[in-house]
Amino acid sequence: MAIEHWLCLALTAGIGPILGRRIIAAAGSAQAACCASVALLAQVQGIGSEKAPRLHGALAKAKELAQRELQRCATCGYGLICPEDEAYPPMLQLIDDPPLVLYMRGQLEPRDLNALAIVGSRRCSFYGREQSQRFAALLAGSGFTIVSGGARGVDSAAHQGALSHPLGRTIAVLGCGVDQVYPPENGPLFDQIAGRGVVLSEFPLGTAPTPDNFP
């Protein structure tokens, strides 16, 4: 399974999306990258001979982590996709650092390419919440998938507005693991989103909602 190897890279300490793809390019595939030698790693831009042995050891440890993560996802019913999968959003492939894996509650659909993001303040005014919900409902009724961050305020209102239309779809992109509920009052909302869209994250299961994750 390709996802197993991409997940191994994603769970390796010291490897992010950009460095992960450099290693894949040097090794020839994600599978080969997970077994890369110290010598090969040392030649990759951003690693070098000093960092290569540590990264080699971290990759070895990540193989077991990836197996456990796959089992947890299977047990909980979470989906996992990598850039080799057809379901991986094609426009996400065009950014500088597309995530090595995406965790999902729910399913992406081809019509999600026709998407529009609505984001805003957590401490919004009543007017801001009202307009976010209204715009989302109207756009969802016109066939747009509404994308937001699942946060309080404008984000939650956007998701709710999309769901208010019988055919509305919405995607919540989280700054934590898909198994985490943040803010805590949005548990029922995330369940609704998973049934009519996707709760999505690039972060491993159990990742807490720390400020650095939200950008």
Residue 164: Cβ within 10 Å count? 14
- Check if the beta carbon of residue 24 is closer than 8 Å to that of residue 33: yes
Strand partners, 81: 102
pTM for this model (two decimals): 0.94
- Check if the beta carbon of residue 33 is closer than 8 Å to that of residue 20: yes
In the chain, % of residues over pLDDT 90: 96
- Check if the beta carbon of residue 179 is closer than 8 Å to that of residue 91: no
pLDDT tens track for 25-74: 999 999 999 999 999 999 999 999 999 999 999 999 999 999 999 999 99
Give me the pLDDT at residue 165, please: 95
d(CA 180, CA 157): 20
pLDDT tens track for 127-175: 999 999 999 999 999 999 999 999 999 999 999 999 999 999 999 999 9
pLDDT tens track for 91-131: 999 999 999 999 999 999 999 999 999 999 999 999 999 99
